């Protein structure tokens, strides 16, 4: 867990920083080692999983920002969900770097705006970077799709995923229908997809 760093001794922190430096990783954030074309599951998390997107307005702001900025960066967005403390986006892109830059700008803009709204300027970290996971095959793609759409239920926001408006699921329902969604779910349930980062 990334927040364990603060619990380390000074010596252990220094050793970890040296290890990251030796590998060429940035000292302050998770590495994004794979930069080639492909499909990726992107996850952005509020710092320490605090529910910074706890209002419908903020979830709508992030949803619109992700769709606009990631699309403008040249990526195809397959699916997404925005929850009170994190979001997931399933994309396909030729180059991950422009997407990464777009997300960083969105995080910066919303950090400033929300800290101003909440009277926390200079006092609060809003985002803990974002992570990307390469989707390696068709089965994993559909598991990620189902994972995204089921996430509001998994996190106790709703009992029916169709009731969560900050998701691509309503669009899939309209385009493909419930039978297709049911068949896709039955053949590609997420299982332990997300274990270790979304527990």
Write out pLDDT tens, residues 145-199.
999 999 999 999 999 999 999 999 999 999 999 999 999 999 898 877 766 656 5
What pLDDT does 24 receive?
Answer: 45
Domain 32-187 matching CATH 3.20.20.80: the answer reads no
Model confidence pLDDT, tens digit, residues 31-43: 444 556 899 999 9
| Residue extents of the structural domains in the chain | 1-28, 32-187
What's residue 80's pLDDT? 98
No. of helices (H) and no. of strands (E), the chain = 5, 4
In percent, the amount of the chain with pLDDT more than 70 equals: 79
pTM for the whole structure: 0.81
Percent of the chain clearing pLDDT 90 (strictly above): 70
Give pLDDT, residue 8: 60
By the 8 A CB rule, do 40 and 93 touch?
yes
Query: What is the pLDDT, as a whole number, of residue 194?
Result: 66
DSSP state of 26: -
Q: Give the single-character DSSP code of 47.
A: G
Q: What whole-number distance in Å separates Cα of residue 136 and Cα of residue 60?
A: 30
């Amino acid at each position: 867990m990334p927040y364990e760093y603060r619990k380390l001794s000074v010596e252990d922190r220094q050793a970890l920083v040296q290890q990251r430096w030796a590998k060429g990783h940035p000292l302050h954030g998770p590495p994004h080692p794979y930069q080639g074309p492909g499909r990726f599951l992107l996850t952005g998390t509020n710092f320490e999983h605090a529910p910074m997107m706890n209002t419908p307005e903020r979830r709508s702001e992030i949803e619109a920002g992700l769709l606009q900025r990631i699309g403008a960066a040249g990526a195809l967005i397959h699916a997404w969900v925005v929850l009170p403390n994190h979001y997931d986006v399933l994309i396909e892109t030729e180059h991950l770097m422009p997407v990464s830059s777009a997300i960083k700008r969105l995080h910066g803009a919303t950090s400033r705006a929300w800290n101003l709204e909440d009277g926390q300027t200079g006092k609060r970290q809003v985002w803990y970077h974002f992570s990307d996971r390469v989707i390696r095959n068709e089965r994993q793609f559909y598991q990620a799709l189902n994972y995204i759409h089921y996430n509001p239920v998994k996190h106790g926001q709703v009992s029916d995923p169709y009731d969560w408006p900050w998701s691509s699921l309503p669009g899939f329902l309209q385009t493909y229908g419930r039978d297709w969604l049911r068949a896709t779910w039955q053949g590609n349930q997420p299982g332990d997809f997300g274990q270790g980062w979304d527990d």
